[in-house]
Structure 1
Amino acid sequence: MIDAVDLFCGAGGLTAGLRKANIHVRAGYDNDANCEHAYTVNNHASFINKDVQEVTVEEVKNWYQKGSIKLLAGCAPCQPFSTYNQGKDASLDRKWPLLYAFQRLIKGVKPELVTMENVPDVTKHEVYHDFVASLKAQKYHVWEGRVACADYGLPQKRQRHVLLASKFGPISLMPKTHNIHVTVEQVLKKYAKLHAGEHHSSDPLHRAAKLSPTNMARIMLSTQGGTWRDWPESLRANCHKKESGKTYASVYGRMKWSEPSPTMTTLCYGFGNGRFGHPEQNRAISLREAATLQSFPDDYEFLPAEKINFKAVGRMIGNAVPVILGEVIGHSLNIHMQEYR
């Protein structure tokens, strides 16, 4: 039996996926108190609202059942490793030394298994290479690689870096499961129609953000996969009229029914924040639709109905490990343990 503790657990995407693979996740740690409802209600695991830098080795050890295989999992916040910070040394960023905190806990807890997920650009930073070197110095076998989540059935063009480590022997991620990718149409066509600013009576998360008159005029002239270049000059944003803004064609765009969606971000509910326009309806995708594109099930709760707001829920959805990817990681660990039992 594999027991897990999920560091930087957020709303529980990784935990939910690991649980689908029959891994027993005992607890999750995160410093965002808004995530507690989503994590505990959906995953029936303990949530500890605490900065991982303050977590002790002993408290993590206490979560594991006697005789279990220990898995320590985590997805440190990716802000310091994103393309916005290319060229900077994340180890010098005083706000985000979180991989070093993860590294410290691995050294103390000594789990048999470790997994980490992050943006692909994490590999460009010294802190990541220090993390891998520490694992290898502790005699872990390490697999690491860039994963196209669409290859495993996620209806999204999300690329992530995944690391697996084991004390037992060589380990790897399971082979891809989908040669033909799941499309936006296959997962979103079922949802009831909405107008901008409305929410559905039976699902408080199926709600779409309001649009200004200008943005309503823009989306009405937008086509699937098109850009703001299709609009008349009078509707174009001032920033796009400048030389520096002419290359940013993916904002104010509609998704295409026939393809996976773009990567969900923390602002995925906003028409002007990326290609987050609904393929047909004159609105941005709803929070529920964004969660579905992250492979959360339809009954996944993020906040109590009366407390739902776009900013908080959007942050949880965009920051989450896709549930499908968590499940793939879990199955990969199970396959590995079957080989070495």
Structure 2
Amino acid sequence: MKKRDDLKKHNVQAIDLFCGAGGLTCGLKKAGIKVRLGVDVDPVCKYPYEYNNNAKCLLKDVREIKSSELSAHFKEGQSIRLIAGCAPCQTFSTYNQKASETDSRWWLLREFKRVVEEIGPELVTMENVPGLAEHDVFEEFLDFLRNAKYEVSSQVVRCEDYGIPQQRERLVVLASRLGPISLLPPAHFRKRTQTVRDALETLPALAAGAIDEFDPIHQTSELSPLNLKRIRASSPGGTWRDWPKKLVAKCHKKKSGKTYPSVYGRMSWDKASPTITTQFFGFGNGRFGHPEQDRAISLREGAILQSFPPTYRFTPPNKPIHMKNIGRLVGNAVPVRLGEVIGRSFLHHLNQVEANTLASKA
């Protein structure tokens, strides 16, 4: 991401709740923010979070965390504290048709609010699916921030606009007790739209079920003989409706199944990818077929489309790689580049606060 404004370094220290594999943390650190701690309940997160980000990962349910445990990780001194996080979004996602208030994840935003209320950081950011904004629990969160004297910015972001090669929309909240704040616009970064070709074309070719000898994360799911015929009959941007009738699944021949054309599809080279979900490594789970190779995209390719660095490690060396685990880590992550945009927006905000303070004293 091209840096335009020579941001002054500020001593911002952050804690990342619901940190996952570290997408948000990695982006914040790229922007120049010191992330002291990540918190998550999933033990699979610990290795990639700590190895790639040089920060400690606390494996604990946020509902059981005391604010004193978190505050201890902020170093003393003239620092600005940031509480960041993305509460699990599945319960608010359009992909989840059974979401309800009986799902315990529904109320994790209240736990995030509790942590912010008890610690009182100068800065707060929260990222989630746009569907969260339709629920009372989100408005309750914004009301809390405003009543606690935070200036608040909330908007839905198209990741494509910030140079992320993926059609992904996210709800981003920024809050500050230091003054008005907003997310920097895409034009600030002068980043052109990225495509699947830009992101993936140079990676080594693979067959279905193969593993790259130099990068074990660059591996693909096997395909059944029937699905191999199906992907060979698929063209970029096309659907299963283009196949010979003998290849069409029975469920799609029914009236109820005809409205799901995006499954069993190939990505297009010259467009951004579809939203990367936790099941992106399966050809039948969405438009996750490689544009020209007869396979679904690999774990590494999914991570790159989420803007993780191409060398980001998800498992310790010589340990088994479980595709479902890596798929979950990648699909649930905040895109790294979006994390960097958020971080740079905070630093730009602090520059403005400092400039306004100096101007008022002149």
Structures share fold, TM-score greater than 0.5: yes
Report the secondary structure of 2:58's partner residue.
Answer: strand
User: What TM-score do the two structures reach when normalised by structure 1?
Assistant: 0.97
Identity level (%): 54
Aligned to 1:228: 240
Aligned to 2:351: 338
For residues 89-127 of structure 1, give each alpha carbon's deviation from its aligned partner in whole angstroms, at most 9, with x where no partner exists: 64x533431100000011100000000000001101111
Query: Structure 1 residue runs of 4+, over 6 Å off?
Result: none
2:118 to 108, 114, 136: 108
Aligned to 1:160: 170
CA distance in 1, matches of 2:278, 2:97: 20
Contact persistence 1:150–1:178 (CA under 8 A): no
Contact persistence 1:253–1:277 (CA under 8 A): yes
Aligned to 1:304: 316
User: What TM-score do the two structures reach when normalised by structure 2?
Assistant: 0.92
CA distance in 1, matches of 2:300, 2:99: 35
Contact persistence 1:251–1:274 (CA under 8 A): yes
Contact persistence 1:30–1:50 (CA under 8 A): yes
In structure 2, the CA distance between the partners of 1:87 and 1:308, relative to structure 1 (3 Å rule), is closer
Structure 2 unmatched runs, 5+: 1-10, 355-362
Whether 2:231 is the aligned partner of 1:219: answer yes
For residues 152-203 of structure 1, give each alpha carbon's deviation from its aligned partner in whole angstroms, at most 9, with x where no partner exists: 1100011000000000111000010357411100110000110000000000
Letter of the structure 2 residue corresponding to residue 5 of structure 1: I
Report the secondary structure of 2:328's partner residue.
Answer: helix
Contact persistence 2:265–2:289 (CA under 8 A): yes
1:77 to partner: Cα distance:
0.3
Aligned to 1:295: 307
2:205 to 193, 196, 212: 193
1:84 to partner: Cα distance:
4.5
Aligned to 1:202: 214
The CA RMSD over aligned residues, in Å, is 1.3
For residues 264-287 of structure 1, give each alpha carbon's deviation from its aligned partner in whole angstroms, at most 9, with x where no partner exists: 000000000000000000000000
Aligned to 1:27: 37
Aligned to 2:272: 260
Letter of the structure 1 residue corresponding to residue 227 of structure 2: N
1:11 to partner: Cα distance:
0.1
Report the secondary structure of 1:200's partner residue.
Answer: coil
Aligned to 1:151: 161
- Matched ranges for 1:1-341 at <5 A: 1-66=11-76, 67-84=78-95, 90=101, 92-176=102-186, 177=189, 180-305=192-317, 306-341=319-354
In structure 2, the CA distance between the partners of 1:136 and 1:32, relative to structure 1 (3 Å rule), is same
1:321 to partner: Cα distance:
0.2
CA distance in 2, matches of 1:337, 1:26: 19
CA distance in 2, matches of 1:282, 1:301: 26
